[in-house]
């Protein structure tokens, strides 16, 4: 092997400078991309805030307007008064639902781990929770002839260890979607069964109405801010945060959530919650009595 005596050995200083320049360029690109994603997140936050504020105004205005009519005796018959009261109830359900999602958004962005959340774990009777939610949301479906049924199977499912207000909000978001996106005169079916091998409970919420996106795009419905064109046309008001919040909560509970279109065209949302998987991972309620 011959060597060229006139060829200079590479200057280690120059090599270092080249490496440094490359590192600085990479860091610069990274900072620019972080800045962009920060701006994007802040823009989404502002949009979400404006959207929620805007959506909260409409049920609150409706409630105020109904109460004004009731107090000024502008409602003729008892029948009409009952309708007005039912509407007040529905509008309050919407307002409370929105406010709860709003409160959760800021919490969930910060705390991803169960132990970091303030609320304790407790045994949750899913059947009772779902029956209560079905009762709460049923008035929203009356105008369009939509019925919500909770199947009796659920009666016998064991309790799951979970943070109750969070799980309540998951099902509240899914049932609210089912009502919003159902066709007139249809039935929403809430069902469930134990999965003994996995020591878990499977809950399904099925409705018939506007379709989900095509199968390969279904995961998008759990992304922050996503709304399909069909959903926007059927129901212009919406933030696209409901299922994102639901997914985050289910992930915190180490459970699973998914959606699919059944062969008969219905939309099915499925949730798996583990009976006892979270024991020891956060404070529990009720606390054991010390003897
Ligand atoms: N039951 C359903 N049937 C058909 N499409 C659904 C159903 N549930 C959700 N989707 C689709 O998933 C999207 C995201 O749902 P998500 O609950 O996150 O937002 P949203 O309902 O549009 O708004 P928000 O919940 O904030 O009012 C919906 O816009 C719709 O396209
Ligand atoms: Mg929704």
Three-state secondary structure call for residue 278: coil
Ligand 1 atom with least separation from CA of 211:
4
Ligand 1 atom with least separation from CA of 239:
26
* pLDDT class of 192 with cuts at 50, 70, 90: very high
Give the model's pLDDT for residue 4: 62
Q: Which ligand is nearest to the CA of 51?
A: 1
* pLDDT class of 228 with cuts at 50, 70, 90: very high
Q: Is 207 in the pocket of ligand 1 (CB under 6 A)?
A: yes
Place of tokens 């029948």: 79
At residue 80, does pLDDT exceed 90? Answer: no
- CA 242 to chain CA centroid, Å, is 4
Q: Dump pLDDT digits (tens) for 123-150.
A: 999 999 999 999 989 988 988 999 999 9
Q: Which ligand is nearest to the CA of 240?
A: 1
Give every CB contact of residue 210 below 8 A, 6+ residues apart in sequence. 181, 183, 228, 230, 231, 234
CA-nearest residue for atom 1, ligand 1, is 178
Interval 254-269 mean pLDDT:
97
What distance in Å separates the CA atoms of residue 224 and residue 210, rounded to the nearest whole number?
20
CA of 232 to the centre of ligand 1 (A): 9
* pLDDT class of 215 with cuts at 50, 70, 90: very high
């Amino acid at each position: 092997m011959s060597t060229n005596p006139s060829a200079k050995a590479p200057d280690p200083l120059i090599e270092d400078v080249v490496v440094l320049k490359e590192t600085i360029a990479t860091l610069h690109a990274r900072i620019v991309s972080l800045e962009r994603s920060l701006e994007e997140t802040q823009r989404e936050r502002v949009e979400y805030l404006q959207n929620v504020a805007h959506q909260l105004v409409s049920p609150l205005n409706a409630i105020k307007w109904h109460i004004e009519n009731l107090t000024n005796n502008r409602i003729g018959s008892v029948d009409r008064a009952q309708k007005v009261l039912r509407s007040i109830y529905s509008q309050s359900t919407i307002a409370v639902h929105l406010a709860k999602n709003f409160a959760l958004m800021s919490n969930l962005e910060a705390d991803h781990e169960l132990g970091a959340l303030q609320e304790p774990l407790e045994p949750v009777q899913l059947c009772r929770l779902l029956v209560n939610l079905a009762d709460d949301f049923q008035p929203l479906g009356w105008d369009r002839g939509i019925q919500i049924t909770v199947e009796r199977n659920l009666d016998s499912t064991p309790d799951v260890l979970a943070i109750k207000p969070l799980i309540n909000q998951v099902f509240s978001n899914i049932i609210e979607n089912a009502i919003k996106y159902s066709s007139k005169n249809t039935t929403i079916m809430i069902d469930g069964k134990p999965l003994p091998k996995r020591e878990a409970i499977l809950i399904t919420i099925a409705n018939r109405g506007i379709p989900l996106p095509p199968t390969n795009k279904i995961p998008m419905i759990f992304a922050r801010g996503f709304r399909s064109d069909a959903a926007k046309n059927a129901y212009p008001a919406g933030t696209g945060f409901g299922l994102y919040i639901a997914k985050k909560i289910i992930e915190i509970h180490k459970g699973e959530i998914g959606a699919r279109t059944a062969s008969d065209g219905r939309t099915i949302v499925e949730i798996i919650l583990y009976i006892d998987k979270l024991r020891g991972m956060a404070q529990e309620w009720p606390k054991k009595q010390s003897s």
